[in-house]
Structure 1
Amino acid sequence: MKRVLLLLFVSIASVHCFAQQPLSNDKGGTTAKNYYQEIPYEDINGKMIINVTVKGKAYRFLFDTGAPVLIGKEFITIADAIPVQAGQVTDVNEASSAVSILRVPGLTLGNVEFKDIQAPGYLPDFYKCWGVVGSIGSNLLRTSIVQIDSKKHVIILTDQPDKLSLAGKQSIPLILDTIQSDPKIKVILGNNSDMTLGFDTGDNGFLRIPEYYMTGLKKSNVFKLLAKGYGASQVGTSGLEKNNEKYMLTFPVFNVGDVKFKNVIVATSKNNIPGIGAKLLDYGIVTLDFINSKFYFDATTQSLDLNEKQWPFQPGFAGNQLTVGVVWEKGQKLVKLGEQIIDIDGTPFTSVDLCYLINKKAILQGKEKATVTVKSATGELRKVEMQKEFLK
């Protein structure tokens, strides 16, 4: 379901819901026919916020294709949601939480009403940072065609492909699971290899992969190891991931349909759920045809080089403090994991608010070098000079 880039990656990516007994969340839907709705969204640092109407009143929801519909506790009564069964949700770090699975009588997007949609009654505390009462996910969208245009900040919801001028455009298969119609695609790598990834608008990054994906692809020689590190960089619905080894990889070939990406860089996590995030929308329009199981990516250009310079360590967040979250090999002589970051280029960070970090652009965005004041475990302050550089 999510990842929020600070430079720090705060994540709640790809929430999956399972009942204690086998139960699909693909229940309910709309009886509307020949519908076409343009739904505007607010972009908060890569998070897509839409209005959903219940009983004639609009409420803010996160738009998240990497999760089922979720509703918060205070919204359960408002929506007259009815308990169906006990279950659990699993977040980006594959940590699970017990929940009650509910049936929501009615949710309206634009003028299209969806009835009896199943939703876990569960919303992490930091969703308050976006002022939302829930999220709209793949199990509600499964009977529609969804097109997302990030330039216009519009989501189109329809059952009429002709309205989207898709005829003649190249598509690739859209793979849907049987639990919540979670949408997945295969991207093509070098040496006739591929990789299956969930398309997750709840993650504002470009790519996330678990360490076991890296292990499985080693023999195919489709990536290059740029750096090794250690630390934690993702916050899921159940909290911060545990410190683990990290690997920074680059994929020289990474094709989405007929669009060729080069030098796609990603840092692994131990057990996260593989996915491609909303950053893909920076490069073109995405259409998820749930009805015909097709994925379209209409890019602004057919070849894109994503190679970029990297920092020697990444900030993290713990207990209202900005900390050293991940240390790469080139940062080992500069900082120690967990040290508090007090100041960056004259901006103090003695105490930080998670919502501020989530909703603002990455702290180091736009910088090529920085002076960072860190505080050691013994209370000693020191200034560290660091700069970005290309890794080979």
Structure 2
Amino acid sequence: MKSLLKIAPIIFLFLGCGGSKLQKVLSSGSVVNPSFTVTVPFEYRQGLMVIKASVAGKEGDFILDTGASNVFSKELQQELALQPLDSEMVYGVHGAGQELEYASVGSIKIGDIDFVNTITAIHDLNAIPEIACINVDGIIGANLMRKAIWDIDFKNQKITITSTEDTLDIPVNHKAINFFVGYQGTPSISAKVNGITALNNRIDTGYTGALSLSRVELQKLINKNRISQYIKGNGSTSVGVYGSGKPEPFYHGIIDNLSYGDLELHNTVVSFTGLDQKLLGLKFLKNYRVILNWNIRKAKFIPTTPYNNTEVSTYGFGPSFKENKLYVKSIIDGSSANENGLKIGDQILAINEVDFSTVTQNQWCTSLQNGVVDNAAKTINMTIQRDSVITKLTLNKTVVLQ
């Protein structure tokens, strides 16, 4: 069962244009150690993986993100006195962009492995409330990760980083997938979606959702009569380094047969959003032990828990935080929110007698962590305000897709 998150999945993804200055230097860097193996723990914060790393002798907390290049906070850059090499326009997965400076980092140590002379972008991570909640110094991205083999044990929250797979215990029944490498190092794989090929699906540990395809893939399925069960919504569905994505149509559908290489899934819920958002996110990946080997360009998936995502149950709305207030940012057609007249832009004043008329940053962080309402609840009472008119609504959690 998929109970739809009422808080949008967080996505960190930098996309540049072909031939850019940043693109040409992102492959730089190396590992000092000729042969190495180290196992380090990680923790989950707001659904994302956070590891310890030492930069020029200073230990900090970093999101581990295969869908991004390295990013340092402005505070860390200033503390380390990093001198920018240049600046570049970079873009998030939902199209928003910003010109960022980037710099070379002499040393990033994870455990006793020393990654030297890699590139990092510099960004004000505290400018986005959802990212500020995570309280990190930056992002360790794929341009660094590609210099080693990463064995990510999501169940036991540990990562083995090694120079050779010979150090790893890999079951013979693992599922192997060939991947392609983007300029920033992100591993991308091909998929078969009800028999139709979809290229460039990114293995993205910076996406807290499950499986996502673009609206282009959905239209192909519709045109070829390869999908019969799907629902539509409208609004913003994700948060990136430049804030929330723009309002647009999005969909959830049931895919009868979905395969990534040897890995096969059946009757699986997939989200369709954006024009190029094809992602395998943490809600899916954490059901496996995943080994990413950039040397031979293979991903190996070892199941640890059953992945079961066959329906969508939801109240039908998603909230956003702006200027100490909560607003409705998305609505799903056919849901209780839709049928009761809730609209994008409505201010949320209260849910189940909890006052949201004024919301602090800390309260928003708590909501991100725990949810705006108890996910086990079947009914909620809402008070909203629209154009100075206050209205009370009762919403039921319903199965809108199965």
Fold conserved (TM > 0.5)? yes
For residues 283-308 of structure 1, the C-alpha deviation after alignment (integer angstroms, 9 at most, x for no partner) is 1111111111000110136x744112
| 2:367 is aligned with 1:357 | yes
Following superposition of structure 1 onto structure 2, how do residues 273-352 of structure 1 map, counting pairs within 5 Å? Answer: 273-300=277-304, 304-319=307-322, 320-330=324-334, 331-334=337-340, 335-352=342-359
Query: CA separation in 1, counterparts of 2:253 and 2:307?
Result: 17
**CA drift at 1:29:** 1.8
Is the contact made by 1:37 and 1:157 (CA closer than 8 Å) also made in structure 2?
Answer: yes
**CA drift at 1:142:** 0.8
Counterpart in the other structure of 1:172 = 177
Identity of aligned residues (%): 23
Runs of 4+ in 1 over 6 A off after TM superposition: none
For residues 67-98 of structure 1, the C-alpha deviation after alignment (integer angstroms, 9 at most, x for no partner) is 00101112113334332222122112121110
Query: CA separation in 1, counterparts of 2:43 and 2:59?
Result: 14
Which sits farther off after the overlay, 281-290 or 229-238?
229-238
Amino acid aligned to 2:211 = L
Which sits farther off after the overlay, 138-147 or 211-220?
211-220
Structure 1, unaligned runs of 5 or more = none
Which sits farther off after the overlay, 207-216 or 33-42?
207-216
**CA drift at 1:255:** 2.6
For residues 328-360 of structure 1, the C-alpha deviation after alignment (integer angstroms, 9 at most, x for no partner) is 222433112221222223333223334333333
Root-mean-square deviation over aligned CA pairs: 2.4
Aligned with 1:365: secondary structure?
coil
Match of 2:137 among 117, 133, 136: 133
**CA drift at 1:6:** 4.7
**CA drift at 1:145:** 0.7
Query: CA separation in 1, counterparts of 2:251 and 2:56?
Result: 49
Structure 2, unaligned runs of 5 or more = none
Amino acid aligned to 2:57 = G
Is the contact made by 1:10 and 1:234 (CA closer than 8 Å) also made in structure 2?
Answer: yes
Which sits farther off after the overlay, 157-166 or 71-80?
71-80
Query: CA separation in 2, counterparts of 1:64 and 1:362?
Result: 26
| 2:246 is aligned with 1:242 | yes
Change (3 A) 1:297 1:343: same
Counterpart in the other structure of 1:96 = 97
Q: State the number of aligned residues.
A: 386
Which sits farther off after the overlay, 28-37 or 66-75?
28-37
Is the contact made by 1:312 and 1:327 (CA closer than 8 Å) also made in structure 2?
Answer: no
Aligned with 1:374: secondary structure?
strand
Counterpart in the other structure of 1:45 = 46
**CA drift at 1:138:** 0.2
Counterpart in the other structure of 1:369 = 379
Match of 2:393 among 375, 383, 389: 383
Is the contact made by 1:123 and 1:134 (CA closer than 8 Å) also made in structure 2?
Answer: no
Query: CA separation in 1, counterparts of 2:214 and 2:125?
Result: 22
Aligned with 2:349: secondary structure?
strand
Amino acid aligned to 2:377 = K
Is the contact made by 2:318 and 2:328 (CA closer than 8 Å) also made in structure 1?
Answer: yes
Aligned with 2:13: secondary structure?
coil
Aligned with 1:11: secondary structure?
coil
Aligned with 1:58: secondary structure?
strand
**CA drift at 1:361:** 4.3
Amino acid aligned to 2:398 = K
Counterpart in the other structure of 1:58 = 59
Change (3 A) 1:365 1:136: same
Query: CA separation in 2, counterparts of 1:357 and 1:222?
Result: 38
Is the contact made by 1:252 and 1:264 (CA closer than 8 Å) also made in structure 2?
Answer: yes
Following superposition of structure 1 onto structure 2, how do residues 211-290 of structure 1 map, counting pairs within 5 Å? Answer: 211-271=215-275, 273-290=277-294
**CA drift at 1:20:** 4.5
Is the contact made by 1:71 and 1:119 (CA closer than 8 Å) also made in structure 2?
Answer: yes
The TM-score, its normalising length taken from structure 1, stands at 0.90
Counterpart in the other structure of 2:186 = 182
Amino acid aligned to 2:95 = E
Change (3 A) 1:222 1:365: farther
Query: CA separation in 1, counterparts of 2:355 and 2:344?
Result: 20
Change (3 A) 1:80 1:130: same
Is the contact made by 2:351 and 2:380 (CA closer than 8 Å) also made in structure 1?
Answer: yes
Is the contact made by 2:65 and 2:204 (CA closer than 8 Å) also made in structure 1?
Answer: yes
Is the contact made by 1:257 and 1:297 (CA closer than 8 Å) also made in structure 2?
Answer: no
Amino acid aligned to 2:176 = S
Counterpart in the other structure of 1:27 = 28
Query: CA separation in 1, counterparts of 2:227 and 2:201?
Result: 16
Is the contact made by 1:250 and 1:265 (CA closer than 8 Å) also made in structure 2?
Answer: yes
**CA drift at 1:124:** 2.9
**CA drift at 1:192:** 5.4
